[in-house]
Structure 1
Amino acid sequence: MALLYAEQVEYLDVEEMQATHEEEIKILNEVEKLATGYIINKSNLSQLEEKLDEYIAHVKEHFANEERLMRKYDFPSYEMHKTAHDMFLTDINYAIKQWKNSDDVKKVINFIFKSPEWIVLHINTVDAPTAAYIAKKMALEEE
């Protein structure tokens, strides 16, 4: 069983955004699998830490790319969307800081296990309309 399934979120009209979300969900589920193994067996800590670093880097690149697309196509709700990204990054950075300061990886694991709810809500209510707007702008560009 996975932490999150791609089918739980809206399919986006911009393929680049869709592919990014699918890849991120895959990485998140890999983190969850390693985290569960670590919690049960206290093993694979280095693999878990590497996968967490990969996930965090992916999230940052994902958000930066969406923000670039929103600016390029003059998305009217850019500030609201960027604020949602910034709040998520603040939360994950806080969890990482707690993890690094206490050397207790469970601090960030707890955040990861709670994040699917935010991800589904954000994609379905914020990213989907953003992608629809950008897709229309892209189509006009192609004409």
Structure 2
Amino acid sequence: MEVKWSRDFSIKNMQLDKQHELIFEITNLANDLALNIQDNNTQHKNDLKQILVKLFQYIKIHFKDEEKFMESIDFPLIEEHKKSHQILVEKTKELLEHSDNIVKMSQELSILTKDWILDHFANEDLWIANFTKKALHLQEIHYTLEQYIKLKSIKQDLRAEKTYDYICNCSLRIHAVPQTIHQELVSKENTLKCEKCGQILVHLDYFDLNQNFEKFNAIFEDALQNHHFTTQKNDMGGGIDEFSSKNLRNFQSF
């Protein structure tokens, strides 16, 4: 699955963003070649080695530039980030040192490039962007559910998984969260936010819809009335939107 760089991956630094975009292109090219590699094909072998050398050289330059930037903003997780950089450099170096088995190398390269994109450039680097604009919240996943599903799908197909219902503060909206992401949210106590209302998604635990329909319906009716009321107040230039916290408290009472 090809992953294209977009503003979602921006760390708010033009030079580093350009480098990230190029690394995305290189890793996609390497992954495409790895998936179509043919054993004993000399041209394929040479092409893959050239791409790997290019990637190895470029990530070392990029990591050096990124670490300088982190130092300039006093990034609090810089040591952890440097360790992550070192691991990726070593893994790439190991592939170069064991490039005789072209099929095995292509398979390992495919896995490694996905890990770079998903775990490092698309996740760990986002902490840098988040730090530059607000305080770090270490348990918050800084993607919408839709973006996170797309990222997770790089490694595994989530379409066949069981889904769990989550709610936000949007009226009558239910988010279907795949089991893999649901387990991560529960076990790691991480949080995701709705892309529309910006509020944290809350797991709608199992309950009997027939027995709780009246209470369920009453909450939504109350939420709608509060929403219209606060909207009118905001239109007049005043008032505080209390819809979010009140709605969450009601749902969490189930």
TM-score by length of 2: 0.45
Pair 1:73 & 2:73 matched: yes
Gapped runs of 5+ residues in structure 2? 135-254
Question: Match for residue 4 of structure 2?
Answer: 5
Q: Give the corresponding residue for 1:117.
A: 115
Deviation at 1:114, TM superposition (A): 0.7
Q: In structure 2, how many angstroms separate the alpha carbons of the residues matched to 1:117 and 1:49?
A: 19
Distance 1:128 1:16 in 2: 15
CA RMSD of the aligned region, Å?
A: 2.6
Distance 1:6 1:93 in 2: 24
Instruction: For 2:92 and 2:108, locate their aligned partners in 1 and report how far apart those are by CA, in whole Å.
Output: 7
Aligned residue pairs total 132
Which sections of structure 1, spanning at least 5 residues, go unmatched?
A: 137-143
Look up the match of 1:104: 101
Q: How far off is 1:94 after superposition?
A: 2.0
Distance 1:58 1:135, change over 3 A: farther
Contact 1:98 1:107 in 2 (8 A): no
Larger CA deviation: 44-53 vs 20-29: 44-53
Which is helix-richer, 1 or 2? 1
> 2-side partners of 1:134 and 1:120: how far apart?
21
Greater Rg, structure 1 or structure 2?
Answer: 2
Task: Map residues 24-43 of structure 1 onto 2, 5 A cutoff.
Answer: 24-39=23-38, 42-43=41-42
CA distance in 2, matches of 1:56, 1:62: 10
Shift of 1:63: 1.0
What CA distance in whole angstroms lies between the structure 2 residues aligned with 1:72 and 1:97? 35
Distance 1:108 1:41, change over 3 A: closer
More strand by share: 2
Given that 1:27 and 1:55 are in contact with CA atoms closer than 8 Å, whether structure 2 keeps it comes out as yes
Query: Structure 1: how far apart are the matches of 2:97 and 2:8?
Result: 29
Higher relative contact order (CA 8 A, sep 6+): 1
Percent identical: 23
1:10/1:124 contact within 8 Å kept: yes
Report the Cα distance in structure 2 between the residues aligned to 1:16 and 1:8, rounded to whole angstroms: 14
TM-score between the two structures when normalised by the length of structure 1: 0.75
What is the alpha-carbon distance in structure 1 between the residues aligned to residue 12 and residue 85 of structure 2? 20
Q: 1:82 offset after TM fit, Å? A: 0.5
Cα separation, 2, equivalents of 1:91 and 1:77: 22
Displacement, 1:62? 1.3
| Offset of residue 89 of structure 1 | 1.6
Cα 1:72–1:12 change in 2 (3 A) is closer
Aligned in 2, Cα 1:68/1:106: closer, same or farther, shift over 3 Å? farther
2-structure distance, mates of 1:105, 1:67: 33
Are positions 1:14 and 2:5 aligned together?
Answer: no
Matches of 1:98 and 1:78 in 2, distance apart? 31
CA deviations on 1:45-82 (whole Å, 9 max, x unpaired) are 22222122111111111111111111222212110110
